[in-house]
Structure 1
Amino acid sequence: MRTINQYSTAIFCAVFALCASIDGGPGSSQVSQEYWLQQAETKLLNRRARQGSREHQKRAKNVIIFIGDGMGPAVVTATRIYRGQKEKRDNDQDSLFWEEFPHGGLVKTHSLNQHVTDSGASATAIFYGRKVNSRTLGVDGTVRQNDCSAVDNGKIESIASMALKNGMSVGFVTTTLVTDATPAALFAHTAQRGIESDFDAQKFKLTGCVDIAKQLVDYYPGNQFKVILGGGSRKMMPNYTENNPEESELIGERLDGRNLVEDWKSGSGRRSVVWNRDELLDTDYNKTDFLMGMFAPKRFPYELDAALKNKTNYPTLSEMTEAAIKVLQKNPNGFLLLVEGALIDSALHANYAKFAVTETL
């Protein structure tokens, strides 16, 4: 029940939105790690009993988790209407691709301590199966925001760690920073999602929390990931080094002097680092078992920005996904891949409606 089984391909779509929050108080039973596992097992067993035996069905070999950050029902509706207008079709009964999936569902998205979640707690709920406190990652409900001293005792196991234990390969692609809350939830354990670099730790005036970029390169399970594609090179580079040949005027922000991209590249196995779309498309997959792409100092530009400014050095989400699969599918035991379209949420925060629906498409 708590292991990952492999044979065909399973695809999951998760959606969650970010808003201002209202404090709440979790019941004491909900703080424990076992509470949420028992809840999930009970619901799954009840659902299986209603469906009847399906032992003849194959079990999934590969798992791909698609997340449209901010893609709630209102955004989906607006996107469906926008696409119809754009294609000059007067039919509100048209469906977006994922609306044709045979199974779907809704989830209660609150965090453990707030009615409206943040992406750190919601991503942890997706990857760990537990409700946790807002702005924490990879820890149980005993860990409150900014309580770095409680992290070690509150660590929990993610789906990425389970996949690795089952001999699978793991990777992720995102259009935001690779240290941002959603991808970071796959591998990081922290009481403050904002500590993406050691500079951030100083900014938050917190000690004892290992920054997320360092956890990605130095700590399990992140240091076992075979694909890391996204933005956020400034979190990985020292503050005196040009952090991207494509954006030479920008420098890194790390205070420890480490170049985590080079440190990652020096690891075992055949590793490739790419900095732009052309380098990604030219990757020799026969010579690449580990792939890192640092395509922006921060997040990617919006799709409309990229089109207007002709920023062709950024790969598309589909191009990154295809590249990731080419690396990960070499493993006969299967793979786990996270694909995040992160800029829907960014556009919604800025109240850019057209940008949000364009990112959704």
Structure 2
Amino acid sequence: MAKTQRLKSFCFQLRFKSTQLFILGGAVLLALLVSVLCIGFTIRFEVQHEVANVADVDYWKDWVAIEQKLWYDRGIEELKRAMRVHSRQRQPRQLLMLMVHGIDAPALAAARFASADGNSSSNSDFIWDRFSHAARLKNSCSYSSPCDAAAAFRSLWSGVPLAAVQRLRNNCSSRESELLSVLRQAQLAGFRTGLVTNQRLTGALGSALYAQVTPSSWECDGLMPVGAIEAGCQDVAQQLISSAAGQSFNVLLGGGRQLFNAKVPSYEWDPVDELLCRARAGRNLLRDWRNQKLKLRPSRRFELVQQAQELSSINGSSLEYLLGVLANGDLSGNARAPTLQLMLHKAMQVLQRPGVGHLLLVEHYVQPQLAVSQQLQLLNATLSQLLGHKDQLTLVVLTNGNYLSASRDMSEETQLVSTLEKAFQGPELELQRRLQQMPSESLLFAQGPKSVLFYGVHDETYLAQTLSHALGIDVFGRQL
């Protein structure tokens, strides 16, 4: 009996100690679990809110000169912006591309800094320098002979290599030579489209958007051979008015009146450009454009303007189509031409519609008689007013537009390398001149949805292909 009592007492004590051990072990495990969860939440919060960032640690920067601390702080702010950049996978509903001719990398670099005498008032805070992504487009014209701007832009907008474009250049009567530009693809996919230029609407960049392959000299019918006209070939100006792509433009603003009409007014501030093509007698394509629009439904309003004050007075929000031919030749040759800011303001009024995407291409040739830094500042201020829409992909392309003549059988780069030893033996200014003559690649700055696609160095064909992908359309204009 005593033995049984001792066994019961032992078992009771063992059970009590086991319970204590279980409670103690559970408490330890619970404490470990809580600690792990706290550490995990802390790390996640630091990553998401950048608590563990060098910007939040004062350490050595408090012990350096004020000037260095100032620039260190500015560098940290720039680093913070870079860390916030991420890839937005949604497709843009708006595309704005500004292509500036006459500005390459050296010119842009020079405009960012004050002159040596310190009297420059240049503002180097360009909006495109704060874009999230950048790339370079090769200038394949440097390696091709012959090569002209018309072929280069057709390659740029169609995504077809330059060599293939040049083979198709003189075959205007064949359907096999037709190339759909990225703008035409966007039109077929239901996007509203526009072109604004301070040159001619029929220039090399514009014609590559809507015209089929023709010799670059056929900008109007005045330079076309009679045989080509009889064969059914059309000049660029005619195609802008009669082609499906040309008629689908919602906005066209630029120069080139003398290419559309045989009779044009000539003023001291807007003369006829004798170096450009002149329309043949009897041509009046601007009247033809108006007659085409009159045949549309009455609700589809349109306007044709030819003076800056006419453009300023219209309400673009109520228009379906706007054609502004605002100079006899290049728009830059008209002393009373509207400002780029006014043209873009009216263009955006016409293009912006709820639930409808749009694509606007802006071409700007830098005027050599004006200071480059001042023109860049004007472009900077104008572009700054067009940013901010979350669904807008914005591209800025800077190029020197240095296309080689047909007589060249080698690139400027090749010529430079072959004479480099001789150049180094010459004066330093001569070497600098040779370096400045090198055709440079185009600089491309991108901001907005799908801007992550623009990186590194690419051929011209990459631009059209990437824009089609970003907009979610294929080469036939179908939504993907």
TM-score (norm 2): 0.52
| Residue in 2 that maps onto 1:123 | 153
Root-mean-square deviation (CA, aligned residues, Å) is 3.2
CA distance in 1, matches of 2:119, 2:303: 39
| Residue in 2 that maps onto 1:42 | none
Q: How far apart are residue 206 of structure 1 and its match?
A: 5.4
Whose helix fraction is larger, Structure 1's or Structure 2's?
A: 2
| Residue in 2 that maps onto 1:284 | 315
Paired amino acid for 1:74: P
8 Å Cα contact 1:197/1:235 also seen in 2? yes
Q: Partner of 1:293: helix, strand, or coil?
A: strand
List runs of 5+ in structure 1 lacking aligned partners. Answer: 1-53, 134-138
CA distance in 1, matches of 2:324, 2:372: 24
Larger mean Cα displacement after TM superposition, 170-179 or 54-63 = 54-63
- Given the alignment of the two structures, is residue 298 of structure 1 paired with residue 320 of structure 2, yes or no? no
Q: How far apart are residue 331 of structure 1 and its match?
A: 5.9
CA distance in 2, matches of 1:335, 1:175: 21
| Residue in 1 that maps onto 2:289 | 264
| Residue in 1 that maps onto 2:95 | 63
- Given the alignment of the two structures, is residue 328 of structure 1 paired with residue 328 of structure 2, yes or no? no
Taking a change above 3 Å as real, the CA distance of residues 329 and 213 of structure 1, as seen in their structure-2 partners, is same
CA distance in 2, matches of 1:256, 1:117: 32
Q: Partner of 1:255: helix, strand, or coil?
A: coil
CA distance in 1, matches of 2:251, 2:321: 6
CA distance in 2, matches of 1:200, 1:331: 43
Taking a change above 3 Å as real, the CA distance of residues 225 and 246 of structure 1, as seen in their structure-2 partners, is farther
| Residue in 2 that maps onto 1:274 | 305
CA distance in 2, matches of 1:162, 1:83: 45
Q: 1:80 aligns with which of 103, 112, 117?
A: 112
Q: How far apart are residue 101 of structure 1 and its match?
A: 1.0
Taking a change above 3 Å as real, the CA distance of residues 357 and 181 of structure 1, as seen in their structure-2 partners, is farther
| Residue in 1 that maps onto 2:364 | 341
CA distance in 2, matches of 1:184, 1:86: 42
Larger mean Cα displacement after TM superposition, 223-232 or 280-289 = 280-289
Q: How far apart are residue 357 of structure 1 and its match?
A: 4.7
1:304-339 deviations in Å (ceiling 9; x for gaps): xx8xxxx4x311112111111110112632111110
Taking a change above 3 Å as real, the CA distance of residues 301 and 162 of structure 1, as seen in their structure-2 partners, is closer
CA distance in 2, matches of 1:236, 1:315: 20
Taking a change above 3 Å as real, the CA distance of residues 82 and 185 of structure 1, as seen in their structure-2 partners, is farther
CA distance in 2, matches of 1:228, 1:120: 19
Q: How far apart are residue 116 of structure 1 and its match?
A: 9.0
CA distance in 2, matches of 1:281, 1:200: 34
CA distance in 2, matches of 1:328, 1:178: 18
CA distance in 1, matches of 2:354, 2:265: 32
8 Å Cα contact 1:67/1:340 also seen in 2? yes
Larger Rg: 2
Taking a change above 3 Å as real, the CA distance of residues 180 and 86 of structure 1, as seen in their structure-2 partners, is farther
Taking a change above 3 Å as real, the CA distance of residues 132 and 287 of structure 1, as seen in their structure-2 partners, is same
CA distance in 2, matches of 1:245, 1:330: 38
8 Å Cα contact 1:169/1:331 also seen in 2? no
1:215-247 deviations in Å (ceiling 9; x for gaps): 000012111101110011000102xx2347897
CA distance in 1, matches of 2:224, 2:143: 23
Taking a change above 3 Å as real, the CA distance of residues 108 and 245 of structure 1, as seen in their structure-2 partners, is same
CA distance in 1, matches of 2:376, 2:152: 19
Taking a change above 3 Å as real, the CA distance of residues 262 and 82 of structure 1, as seen in their structure-2 partners, is farther
**Larger RCO: Structure 1 or Structure 2 (Cα < 8 Å, ≥ 6 residues apart)?**
2
Paired amino acid for 2:285: L
Q: 1:215 aligns with which of 219, 239, 251?
A: 239
8 Å Cα contact 2:264/2:328 also seen in 1? no
State, as a whole percentage, how many aligned pairs show the same letter. Answer: 24
1:181-234 deviations in Å (ceiling 9; x for gaps): 01111111123122111002149x855541111000001211110111001100
Q: How far apart are residue 88 of structure 1 and its match?
A: 3.5
Taking a change above 3 Å as real, the CA distance of residues 76 and 236 of structure 1, as seen in their structure-2 partners, is same
Taking a change above 3 Å as real, the CA distance of residues 102 and 231 of structure 1, as seen in their structure-2 partners, is same
| Residue in 2 that maps onto 1:44 | none
Q: Partner of 1:176: helix, strand, or coil?
A: strand
8 Å Cα contact 2:197/2:363 also seen in 1? yes
List runs of 5+ in structure 2 lacking aligned partners. Answer: 1-85, 378-480
Q: Partner of 1:341: helix, strand, or coil?
A: strand
Q: How far apart are residue 150 of structure 1 and its match?
A: 6.3
Larger mean Cα displacement after TM superposition, 169-178 or 269-278 = 269-278
| Residue in 2 that maps onto 1:242 | 264
Taking a change above 3 Å as real, the CA distance of residues 119 and 140 of structure 1, as seen in their structure-2 partners, is closer
Q: 1:224 aligns with which of 248, 251, 264?
A: 248
Q: 2:167 aligns with which of 142, 150, 167?
A: 142
Taking a change above 3 Å as real, the CA distance of residues 246 and 171 of structure 1, as seen in their structure-2 partners, is farther
The size of the alignment, in residue pairs, is 280
Taking a change above 3 Å as real, the CA distance of residues 321 and 263 of structure 1, as seen in their structure-2 partners, is same
TM-score (norm 1): 0.68
1:125-145 deviations in Å (ceiling 9; x for gaps): 331122225xxxxx835314x
Q: How far apart are residue 255 of structure 1 and its match?
A: 1.4
Q: How far apart are residue 56 of structure 1 and its match?
A: 6.0
8 Å Cα contact 1:109/1:116 also seen in 2? no
